[in-house]
């Protein structure tokens, strides 16, 4: 495996880096990504690949289960990364992207599987709201159907959690930030996006581009402000 990484490093430097020298030298000056992308650590779900983004375009936060702990609930890297992306880099969009077949959510639904993974178990406590929603509102579902719904509900819970972060709340109120709840489907390469307008998920690739760009989590505070004025 290390040999594969090494040969990849040689190949990158010798071919890609040298071929696109100007592009890579421009990156040295600094970054100004437009988007904070929060996704799962799963090796099959690489944000830059599934969105065909380039270096410098996505500020990425990945962890097991694409979890955003509520503000104050964790002193880990998550809140610092969110604050930096929003307040220092000034990203305009935040995407929270779950994915089909997520092992973290599978574990959350089956806590017994984490008996020997105390740190995973403790991390997934941040997803307790999702677990409870599934237990109390979807008790009729089992297996794959249960997991699919849990993955969708989970990204929406993380959108709620995200809004407890002061840096995010401030920008939302100013209308300078848009939130997106996505689910990547490994089976088809498609992405489902939630829209507050129809309170559901729809495929971004099946929609007309102007419809697809509109699919977002409505900025509740902005809507309220416009109502007032």
Instruction: By CB under 5 A, name the binding residues for Zn ion.
Output: 40, 42, 102, 104
Query: Least distance (Å) from Zn ion to the CB of residue 86?
Result: 24
Helix count (H) and strand count (E) of the chain? 12, 6
Query: Least distance (Å) from Zn ion to the CB of residue 77?
Result: 17
Please say which residue, 104 or 127, places its beta carbon nearer to Zn ion. 104
Measure the CA–CA gap between 90 and 177, rounded to whole angstroms.
9
- CA dihedral (168, 195, 105, 138) positive or negative: positive
Query: Least distance (Å) from Zn ion to the CB of residue 101?
Result: 8
Query: Least distance (Å) from Zn ion to the CB of residue 18?
Result: 35
Cα separation values, 136 from 1, 131, 150, 192, Å = 44, 9, 12, 24
Please say which residue, 40 or 134, places its beta carbon nearer to Zn ion. 40
Please say which residue, 81 or 219, places its beta carbon nearer to Zn ion. 81
Query: Least distance (Å) from Zn ion to the CB of residue 229?
Result: 42
Please say which residue, 38 or 91, places its beta carbon nearer to Zn ion. 38
Three-state DSSP at 216 gives coil
Cα separation values, 197 from 121, 162, 218, Å = 35, 20, 8
Query: Least distance (Å) from Zn ion to the CB of residue 151?
Result: 8
Task: List CB contacts of 96: < 8 A, sequence separation 6 or more.
Answer: 38, 39, 66, 68, 155, 158, 159, 162, 179, 180, 181, 182
- CA dihedral (129, 202, 190, 214) positive or negative: negative
Please say which residue, 40 or 68, places its beta carbon nearer to Zn ion. 40
Please say which residue, 151 or 162, places its beta carbon nearer to Zn ion. 151
Task: List CB contacts of 110: < 8 A, sequence separation 6 or more.
Answer: none
Three-state DSSP at 208 gives coil
């Amino acid at each position: 495996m290390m040999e594969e990484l090494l040969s990849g490093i040689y190949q990158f430097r010798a071919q890609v880096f040298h071929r696109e020298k100007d592009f890579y030298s421009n990156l040295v000056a600094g970054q100004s990504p437009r988007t904070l992308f929060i996704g799962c650590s799963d090796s099959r779900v690489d944000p830059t690949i599934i969105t065909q983004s380039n270096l410098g375009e996505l500020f990425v936060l990945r962890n097991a289960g694409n979890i955003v702990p509520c503000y104050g609930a964790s002193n880990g890297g998550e809140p610092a990364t969110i604050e930096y992306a929003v307040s220092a880099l000034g990203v305009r969009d935040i995407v929270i992207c779950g994915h089909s077949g997520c092992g973290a959510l599978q574990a959350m639904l089956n806590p017994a599987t984490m008996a020997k993974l105390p740190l995973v178990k403790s991390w997934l406590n941040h997803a307790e709201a999702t677990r409870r929603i599934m237990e109390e509102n979807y008790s009729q579902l089992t297996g794959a159907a249960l997991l699919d719904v849990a993955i969708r509900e989970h990204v929406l819970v993380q959108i709620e959690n995200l809004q407890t972060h002061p840096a995010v709340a401030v920008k939302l109120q100013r209308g300078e930030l848009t939130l997106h709840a996505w689910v990547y489907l490994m089976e088809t390469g498609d992405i489902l996006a939630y829209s507050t307008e129809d309170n559901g998920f729809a495929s971004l690739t099946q929609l007309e581009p102007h419809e697809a760009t509109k699919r977002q989590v409505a900025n509740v505070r902005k809507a309220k402000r416009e109502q007032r004025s």
